[in-house]
Structure 1
Amino acid sequence: MRQMKLRAVLGALVLGSWAGANIETDLSNVLKLGPRVAGSAANESARVYLEGRFRALGYTTRRETFSYPRFDDLGSDVRVGERTLAGQALQGSAGGSVSAAAVLVPGVGTPEDFGRVDVRGRVAVVRRGQIPFAQKARNALGAGAAGLIVVNNVAGELRGGTLGERVELPVLGVTQEAGTALREGERVTLSVRVRQGEVRGVNVVAFKTGVTRPELLFGGHMDSVAGAPGANDNLSGTLAVLDLARRAANTPLAARSFFVLFDGEEDGLHGSRSFVKDNAALVGNLRAMFNFDMVGVNADPLAVGGDGDLVALARRANAGLESFPAGGGSDHVPFTQAGTPTLFFHRGIDPNYHQPGDRVADPALIGATVDAALRTADAVLSAAPAAAR
C-alpha cells in the first residue's frame, strides 16, 4: 500500500506540477552573477541565492566546507616572431619559459607519434583528442621535449584542461587558429605562468528536518570554470536538483531524499569526494545517487549511465531514454567508488562547453530531465532494495 501511494504521488509530480517559470527565473538570476569559479565571490553569491530557494521550499540547509590546492593560470602564452598567442596552461603543468624550435608531432601524441620525430630540447606540438592530456604530456617528457603545446580539436579556447597529475613540463593549450601559426622548425617562446594556491569549497545540503538516513541523493555541481558563465555546465544540473526539491516538497519523496549542490567539481570532483568521505554512513545507506550534469542543451538526446540495474530501471520507466557508458568526469564517480549505485543524467557536450558562450540553457529540457528523474525515483523506491542495487 505504501509503495502504491508513493507511486501515485510521484506520478502526479511528473504529470502536472512543473513550473517552467521557476527554472527560467532562477536561471536568469544566477547567470547575472557571472562565472561561479570555486572560491570566488560569484560562487558564494550563487550559493546564498540557492540556499534561500531551498529554504523557501521548507527545507533545512547546511554547509559542508572543505579545502584543496588549486592550480591557477596567471596568463600563459606562446610567442611566434612578433605575435603573441594566448593560451591556457593545463592543470598540473609545471611553470616555466622555453625558447626553442617547434616540432609538429604527427598524430595525437602517442609514444609511436613521438618516435617519428626528434623533440629533444624542443617544443612539441600535438593535437587534442583520443588519449588523455596526461599521456600526451608524459610521452612528450619521455621523448625529451622541453615544452608541450596541445592544439584544440574543436573551435574555441581549450579551457579547463587538466593533466590530472603533476607533470614536470610546461604544457599549454591553444586554439585551432593559434595552432596554424606554429610551423615546423620555427623558434617559439613558450611561457607558462602558473600559481598553486588553496581554495575553500562549500557544498550545500538540503533536506527535510528529521531526515538523517536518505535512500536517494540528487546532486549536481554549482561551480563553473573561469570565463564561462556556466549556463549548461552546470547551472542546468543545479536547477534540476532544485526543481526536484521543489516538486518533492511536502511529499513522501522529500522524506526519503537529500538534495546536494557540490562545489569544486571543475577542479577535480573535490566537493563530491569530500561529501562521500565526511558522510560515509549516510552514503552507505543510499539506494541510489542521481547526478545531473549538462542537461539544459540537447547536444545529444537525454541519456543515463551508471549502475546497470539502475540504467535498466530508468529505461523501463522512460520510453526512448538513451544510455551511455558513464565515464569519470562528474560527481557520481566518488559515490560509485564508495559502492553506491549511481545514475548520471546527461545531454552530451555542447559547442559552448567551458567557453564564454555557455550562456543558454533551456528550462523545458531541464524540466523534462526532472520528469525522467522522478519516474526513475519511483521505479527505484518501488523496487525491493536488493533489486535496486
Structure 2
Amino acid sequence: MHPAIRAALLALATLSTTAHATLEDDARTILTYGPRVAGSPANEQARTYLEAQFRALGYDTRRETFTYPRFDDLGSDVQVGTQTLTGRAMQDSAGGTVSAAVVRVPGTGTPEDFARVDVKGRVAVIMRGQLPFLQKTQNALSAGAAGVIIINTTPGELRGTLGTRTALPVLGVSPTTGSALQDGQTVTLNVRVQDSDVQATNLIAFKSGLSTPTMLFGAHLDSVPGAPGANDNLSGSLTVLEIARRAANTPIGARSYFMLFDGEEDGLLGSRNFVKDNTALIGTLKAMMNFDMVGVNAAPLELAGTSSLLDTARTAGLPTNGRDIGRSDHVSFQQAGVPAVMFYRGEDANYHQPGDTIYDPQLVRDTADVALKLADDVLNVTPAH
C-alpha cells in the first residue's frame, strides 16, 4: 500500500477510535475483512485498524517489513462427472491438469503397494499415513502415474508439504472427497499453483522512547487461505491489544513491546525475522509471552515453554504444562535464548477451516488476566488493572 494511502487510512481509523472499541467491536470489524493471509489486502486492513487502536491508547507504533517467497494454491480441485470437489495442492507440487482414470492404490503407497496395480498414465489415489507425502509421490512417479491425490485420514481438507519440488501435480483431499473417487472412474485433476514474493509486515507498539524492552507480548495476525481466523489467531492478537490497554499507564506498559507478527502460518517468519534483525534488543528481554488460539475453550488454558517461566507461573498458581503444545512464534525467541511461554487453549474443530469465525471475548480477557499476573511476577512491579 502506498504510504500516503496508509497514512490516510490510519488517520481515519484513529479519528473513529478516540474512545477505544470493545473487543467485540474489534473482532466484528476485523472479521469483515476476510482471511488475513500474509501479503493480502485483508491482512493490511486488519493491521491498520489495530495500529490505530494501539495509537489511541497512547502507544507509538513501528512497522518492520520483510519479503519471502511463497508457494500459493490458486484454487485446486478434482472434477468427478458433473461435480467439482475441492482440495489443496501439496506445497511444492507441480501445477497442471490431468484427465485420466483413477487407480486406488492399496495400502499407503509403498513400492510394494504400487507393484499390485497399474497407475501408468493415471491418477494414483493414496491414503495418508506411514510414509511421508514426498515418498508416496516419488513412488507414484516411479510407477508412471500422471497425478496423485492423497486422502486425509481425519475429517477435513488435507494440507501438507512435500519438501522438494516434484514433477507431478499432487492434491490433498478430505475423506469425503476421497470416498467419491472410484477405481477406474475418469476424473480431471486441476492443480493450480503459483510462486510469488510476499511482502509481510510486523507491527510493534511501545511507549515513546522505549528502545530496550524487558518484556514482549506477541501474537501472529495472519491466517491461512480460506479461514477467517477468529480463533487462529485474531484471539491472540486481541489478547495482546487487551494487555496493552490495561497496561497503558503502568510500569508493565512502559517496559514492554506489544507485537503482531506476520507470516507465522508460512513458517514463523515474522518472529524469526524480528529476532534476526533486532539482536541487541533481544538481549534485553526477560520474557516473551506468545498467544495463539486462546478464544475457544477446546481445552483448558495451558502455558508451555521455558522452564524458568513455567516455574514462576506455578509459584503464582497459574496453569502450566511441560509438554510441547505446538510450534508458534515463541519458538523463535526460545531459540535465541529468550525465556518464552505460549498461552494456548487447544486445537478447536474449526482449526484452519472456513468455520473459524467465532471466538469468546471473555476467554481473551481471562487470558490477559493470567498474562498480566505472570508479567507482574517476572518484572516484580505493581499489578496492572
- With 293-302 and 265-274 compared, the bigger mean Cα shift is at 265-274
1:139-218 to structure 2, matched below 5 A, reads 145-158=145-158, 161-163=160-162, 166-218=165-217
Structure 2: distance between partners of 1:129 and 1:348: 23
Structure 1: distance between partners of 2:205 and 2:326: 27
The aligned length equals 362
User: Does the C-alpha gap of structure 1 residues 301 and 140 become closer, same or farther in structure 2, counting only changes over 3 Å?
Assistant: farther
Structure 2: distance between partners of 1:274 and 1:78: 37
2:375 aligns to what SS in structure 1? helix
Aligned equivalent of 1:8: none
Aligned equivalent of 2:261: 262
Amino acid at match of 2:45: S
Q: Measure how far apart 1:113 and its partner are.
A: 6.6
User: Does the C-alpha gap of structure 1 residues 192 and 295 become closer, same or farther in structure 2, counting only changes over 3 Å?
Assistant: same
- With 99-108 and 180-189 compared, the bigger mean Cα shift is at 99-108
Q: Measure how far apart 1:259 and its partner are.
A: 0.8
Q: Deviations over 1:130-154 (max 9, x none)?
A: 7765565456556665433222344
Q: Measure how far apart 1:110 and its partner are.
A: 6.8
1:219 and 1:262 in contact (8 A); partners too: yes
| RMSD (Å) for aligned C-alpha atoms | 2.8
User: Does the C-alpha gap of structure 1 residues 152 and 250 become closer, same or farther in structure 2, counting only changes over 3 Å?
Assistant: same
Aligned equivalent of 1:235: 234
1:222 and 1:234 in contact (8 A); partners too: yes
Q: Measure how far apart 1:277 and its partner are.
A: 1.4
Structure 2: distance between partners of 1:139 and 1:282: 48
Aligned equivalent of 2:341: 343
Q: Measure how far apart 1:261 and its partner are.
A: 0.3
Aligned equivalent of 2:369: 371
Pick 1 or 2: higher relative contact order, CA cutoff 8 A, min separation 6.
1
Aligned equivalent of 2:291: 292
- With 313-322 and 124-133 compared, the bigger mean Cα shift is at 124-133
Aligned equivalent of 1:244: 243
Q: Measure how far apart 1:232 and its partner are.
A: 0.4
Structure 2: distance between partners of 1:280 and 1:226: 32
Query: With structure 2 as the length reference, what TM-score do the two structures score?
Result: 0.84
Q: Measure how far apart 1:273 and its partner are.
A: 1.8
1:301 and 1:322 in contact (8 A); partners too: no
1:245 and 1:254 in contact (8 A); partners too: yes
2:301 and 2:319 in contact (8 A); partners too: no
Query: With structure 1 as the length reference, what TM-score do the two structures score?
Result: 0.83
Gaps of 5+ in 2: 1-19
Aligned equivalent of 2:358: 360
Structure 1: distance between partners of 2:313 and 2:167: 44
User: Does the C-alpha gap of structure 1 residues 279 and 173 become closer, same or farther in structure 2, counting only changes over 3 Å?
Assistant: same
Structure 2: distance between partners of 1:305 and 1:228: 26
Aligned equivalent of 2:30: 30
1:302 and 1:322 in contact (8 A); partners too: no
Structure 1: distance between partners of 2:83 and 2:101: 15
2:49 aligns to what SS in structure 1? helix
Aligned equivalent of 2:125: 125
Amino acid at match of 2:352: H
- With 212-221 and 374-383 compared, the bigger mean Cα shift is at 374-383
2:309 and 2:341 in contact (8 A); partners too: yes
